[in-house]
């Protein structure tokens, strides 16, 4: 716009006709008018936006000054038109060039009164650009609209070729370029603040803004066009005034109806959308309500004053109050007195913005009994409500207490066991020391007696002394075995991968069974090597002992295999065997199925074997035929299950 | 006053065990001069020439047979005191006890015992053990003077 005004000034300066008046015979824009346009443009530009104001310090101040200038100039000219004795503001600029126009027969080129009025309006609008925000409350927009209408009047006058419209009586009418520029300026004023006032309705990419812009532009164009058509038609003699007016009205009616229809259609669509959104919202609310109603936990909202707003039906079960009873009540009233301080502290931290997830307190039910409640709550600033979920923690508490009690019991039991073990340790210590000494003395003196009194004693006496010694030594052996049994039971179990075959072969060699024992492939096990060695020592020495009567025909076979998740190991001999009727006694401590004379032994070997195998989580069974031999089979768990089954079996045993 | 050279100091609280040990030693001719004391206190008095043994002038035994479990002061304590005193530090000590408890074994070796032997119930074995121990320490083994 500044460009256009600048061009006009240039035109006056250089006397270029087209720039001044566009068309020959048309009124030229007064130079002062052009200058005022420039100032207005500058004022508008300075106030274009917040960034501009920031870039140029005092921009708004300058803009207001410029605007003031424009308004004052217009007012002065108006005053002149009205007959006031004021200086002629429009004659000073390019005064020289103004004269020739007067000579050429034009009326003196001066600023038209409507131009002056328009400048006043525009100047004030520019000054008041930032006043008011709501549509209809912005003075700038009213003022700008006023000047736009004035300009429109002039423009249409030009378009309809009505002389009277663009001038007021005898004065030089508003130049067309002036009118166009006023229109532009008005638009610029509206556009300067697109988010405020009426301009907001037309702005933006939103459907409503776009539609408004198109509709406005369209209707202005169409209505102006129809007016022009009618006038031209009348002028050309196509029809008279009455017909012209009638046609005009009819077309306008049609146009307006169209507009109304399309607006109504758009509105209807918008209504539909809104209705749909409403329905959706209702449904969502209903869903929410359903969820709240079904929830086992209490879902509730508490306002800023600490009162219940909404409480889900679960409150009846948890606290014994109906939701209606609780609405409006202060929640703190239900909190157990001892927990109120803590609750208040947590509540204020929630208000401050920290949602809590793990807070527990006690509430008093309607019947006075306390109930432990777990809370999860958060504060919503826009809603000014605390959203909470409460859960009955009674069961949780009970479970926790049960666990604590169980733990305490286990600790106590473990302590007892440790104590028990310690007592056993010292017991066996005592046994090994104190019980052996007298036995040694018995055997010793018996022997010494034998040695010293050999001559004076007869066969029987000497035999008696033998028996004394034998008995004492036997008791020593028993003690040794008992101690071994007890010690092995207390030794901690070490599970490592064990090459069973190598172990067995070594044991066989140690027991002197080299030629008589056949060892087949044996599966590797996870077991304690020391204990398993003891097992095989006992089993192999037993097998050799009880098959010794066969002499060179004695045969012992050892084999093993895997069955499912268990490893089986078997030792078979062709010795004397035993009576299956007494098989269950076989593994008892000190239990024997043969006499001491026939086969030496204390009867603790198999008991030890059974104990060790059981500790590993396995079992042992025996099979025999008297006179034909015996077979002992024990199994161990394979791999990872070993630990658990050991515990289970010990419990069962 | 006894000037005979004591070769073995037997520290044993059980009269029976002592009798059997002495008899065996004598029979096998390992040592003729064995001094028998009945507990740790007496043993130390003997070794350091104190108390009732004050002023004994017959030097140190070539070996000490020490029982573990004794009243008043047990074998471990005697051993400890012996090893602390330069006069008795180098005397070979053989610990004899009724049972082979790992704890006793380790404690004895930690205090510097030379040998640890278990007294078997079987008298024949017992005699054999004593004989072997005696033979070894008195005859085969070289000890400082």
pLDDT digits (tens, 9 = 90+) for A505-520: 999 988 887 788 889 8
Say if residues A125 and A68 touch (Cβ distance below 8 Å).
Answer: no
Task: Report pTM.
Answer: 0.46
Whether the pLDDT of residue A152 is over 90: the answer is: no
Q: Tokens 């700038």 belong to which residue? A: A140
Whether the pLDDT of residue A76 is over 60: the answer is: yes
Say if residues B5 and B29 touch (Cβ distance below 8 Å).
Answer: no
SS3 assignment, position A412? helix
**Residues whose CB is less than 8 angstroms from the CB of residue A145 and which lie 6 or more positions away in sequence, other chains included:** A186
CA-CA distance, A313 to A317, in Å (whole number)?
8
Stretch A315-328: mean pLDDT: 88
Q: Which pLDDT score is estimated for A95?
A: 54
- B14: contact with A, CB 8 A cutoff: yes
pLDDT digits (tens, 9 = 90+) for A281-292: 999 999 988 988
Q: Do B121 and A445 touch (CB under 8 A)?
A: no
Chain centroid offset of residue A414 CA = 44
Q: Angle at CA A56, nearest 5°, toward A51 and A62?
A: 115
Q: Do A440 and B119 touch (CB under 8 A)?
A: yes
- How large a percentage of chain A has pLDDT more than 70? 78
CA-CA distance, B145 to B143, in Å (whole number)?
6
pLDDT digits (tens, 9 = 90+) for A385-396: 989 999 988 888
- The DSSP symbol for A492 reads P
- A429: contact with B, CB 8 A cutoff: yes
Stretch B36-56: mean pLDDT: 88
Chain centroid offset of residue A123 CA = 57
CA distance B131 to chain A (A): 15
Q: Do A436 and B14 touch (CB under 8 A)?
A: no
Q: Which pLDDT score is estimated for A194?
A: 66
CA distance B26 to chain A (A): 13
pLDDT digits (tens, 9 = 90+) for A359-374: 888 888 888 888 889 9
**Residues whose CB is less than 8 angstroms from the CB of residue A30 and which lie 6 or more positions away in sequence, other chains included:** A90, A109, A110, A111, A115, A172, A175, A178
CA-CA distance, A34 to A8, in Å (whole number)?
6
Whether the pLDDT of residue A170 is over 50: the answer is: no
Give ipTM to 2 decimals: 0.80
Name which of B13, B71, B95, B99 to mutate to probe chain A: the one with the most chain A Cβ atoms within 10 A of its Cβ: B99
Residues in chain B within 8 Å Cβ distance of A487: none
Q: What is the band of A642 on the pLDDT scale with cuts at 50, 70, 90? A: very low
Name which of A437, A474, A491 to mutate to probe chain B: the one with the most chain B Cβ atoms within 10 A of its Cβ: A437
CA distance B118 to chain A (A): 10
Q: Do A439 and B121 touch (CB under 8 A)?
A: yes
Q: Supply φ then ψ for residue A48, to 5 degrees.
A: -55, -40
CA-CA distance, A499 to B18, in Å (whole number)?
49
- A473: contact with B, CB 8 A cutoff: yes
- Quote the mean pLDDT of chain A: 79
Q: What is the band of B28 on the pLDDT scale with cuts at 50, 70, 90? A: confident
- B15: contact with A, CB 8 A cutoff: no
Q: Do A445 and B69 touch (CB under 8 A)?
A: no
- B101: contact with A, CB 8 A cutoff: yes
Say if residues B88 and B57 touch (Cβ distance below 8 Å).
Answer: no
CA distance A490 to chain B (A): 15
Measure the CA dihedral B17/B20/B22/B23, to 10°.
170
Stretch A452-458: mean pLDDT: 86
Q: Tokens 């097998």 belong to which residue? A: A543
Say if residues A350 and A380 touch (Cβ distance below 8 Å).
Answer: no
């Amino acid at each position: 716009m500044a460009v256009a005004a600048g061009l006009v000034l240039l035109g006056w300066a250089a006397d270029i006709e087209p720039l001044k008046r566009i068309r020959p015979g048309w009124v030229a824009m007064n130079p002062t008018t052009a200058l005022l346009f420039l100032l207005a443009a500058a004022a508008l530009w300075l106030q274009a936006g917040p960034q501009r104001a920031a870039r140029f310090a005092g921009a708004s101040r300058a803009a207001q000054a410029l605007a003031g200038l424009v308004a004052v100039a217009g007012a002065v000219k108006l005053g002149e038109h009205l007959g006031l004795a004021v200086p002629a503001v429009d004659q000073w600029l390019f005064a020289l060039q103004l004269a020739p126009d007067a000579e050429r027969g034009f009326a003196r080129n001066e600023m038209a009164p409507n131009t002056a009025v328009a400048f006043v309006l525009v100047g004030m609008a520019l000054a008041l650009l930032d006043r008011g925000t709501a549509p209809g409350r912005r003075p700038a927009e009213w003022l700008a609209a006023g000047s736009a209408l004035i300009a429109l009047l002039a423009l249409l006058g030009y378009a309809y070729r009505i002389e009277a419209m663009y001038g007021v009586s005898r004065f030089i009418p508003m130049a067309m370029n002036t009118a166009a520029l006023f229109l532009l300026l008005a638009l610029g004023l509206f556009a300067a603040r697109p988010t405020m006032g009426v301009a907001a309705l037309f702005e933006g990419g939103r459907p409503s803004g776009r539609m408004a812009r198109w509709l406005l532009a369209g209707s202005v164009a169409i209505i102006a066009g129809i007016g022009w058509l009618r006038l031209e038609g009348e002028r050309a003699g196509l029809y008279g005034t009455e017909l012209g007016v009638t046609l005009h009205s009819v077309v306008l009616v049609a146009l307006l109806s169209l507009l109304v229809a399309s607006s109504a259609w758009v509105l209807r669509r918008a209504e539909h959308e809104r209705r749909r959104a409403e329905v959706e919202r209702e449904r969502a609310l209903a869903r929410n309500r359903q969820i709240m109603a079904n929830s086992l936990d209490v879902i509730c909202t508490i306002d800023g004053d600490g009162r219940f707003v909404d409480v889900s039906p679960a409150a009846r079960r948890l606290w014994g109050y109906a939701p209606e009873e609780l609405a409006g009540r202060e929640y703190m009233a239900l909190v157990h007195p001892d927990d109120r301080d803590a609750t208040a502290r947590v509540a204020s931290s929630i208000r401050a913005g920290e949602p809590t997830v793990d807070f527990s307190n006690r509430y008093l039910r309607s019947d006075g009994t306390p109930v432990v409640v777990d809370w999860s709550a958060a504060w919503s600033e826009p809603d000014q409500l605390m959203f909470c979920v409460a859960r009955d923690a009674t069961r949780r508490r009970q479970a926790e207490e049960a666990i604590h009690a169980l733990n305490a019991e286990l600790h106590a039991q473990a302590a007892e066991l440790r104590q028990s073990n310690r007592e056993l340790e010292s017991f066996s210590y005592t046994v090994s020391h104190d019980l052996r000494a007298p036995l040694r003395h018995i055997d010793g003196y018996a022997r010494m007696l034998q040695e010293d009194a050999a001559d004076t004693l007869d066969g029987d006496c000497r035999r008696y002394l033998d028996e004394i010694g034998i008995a004492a030594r036997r008791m020593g052996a028993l003690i040794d075995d008992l101690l071994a049994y007890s010690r092995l039971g207390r030794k901690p179990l070490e599970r490592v991968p064990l090459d069973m075959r190598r172990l067995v072969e070594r044991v066989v060699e140690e027991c002197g069974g080299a030629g008589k024992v056949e060892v087949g492939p044996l599966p590797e096990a996870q077991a304690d090597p020391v204990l398993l060695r003891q097992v095989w020592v006992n089993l192999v020495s037993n097998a050799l002992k009880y098959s010794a009567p066969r002499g060179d025909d004695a045969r012992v076979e050892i084999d093993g295999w895997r069955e499912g998740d268990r490893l089986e190991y078997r030792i078979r001999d062709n010795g004397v065997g035993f009576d299956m009727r007494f098989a269950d006694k076989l593994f008892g401590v000190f239990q024997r199925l043969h006499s001491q004379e026939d086969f030496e032994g204390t009867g603790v070997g198999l008991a030890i074997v059974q104990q060790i195998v059981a500790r590993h989580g396995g079992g042992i069974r025996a099979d025999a035929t008297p006179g034909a031999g015996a077979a002992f089979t024990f199994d161990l768990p394979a791999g990872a299950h070993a630990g658990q089954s050991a515990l289970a079996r010990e419990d069962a045993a | 006053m006894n000037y005979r050279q004591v070769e073995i100091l037997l520290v044993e609280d059980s009269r029976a065990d002592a009798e059997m040990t002495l008899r065996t030693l004598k029979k096998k001719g390992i040592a003729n001069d064995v001094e028998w004391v009945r507990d740790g206190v007496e043993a130390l008095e003997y070794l350091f020439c104190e108390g009732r043994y004050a002023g004994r002038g017959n030097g140190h035994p070539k070996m000490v047979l020490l029982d573990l479990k004794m009243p008043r002061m047990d074998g471990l304590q005697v051993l400890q005191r012996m090893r602390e005193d330069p006069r008795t530090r180098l005397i070979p000590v053989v610990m004899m006890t009724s049972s082979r408890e790992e704890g006793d074994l380790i404690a004895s070796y930690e205090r510097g015992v030379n040998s640890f032997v278990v007294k078997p119930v079987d008298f024949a074995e017992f005699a054999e053990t004593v004989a072997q121990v005696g033979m070894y320490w008195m005859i085969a083994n070289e000890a400082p003077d």
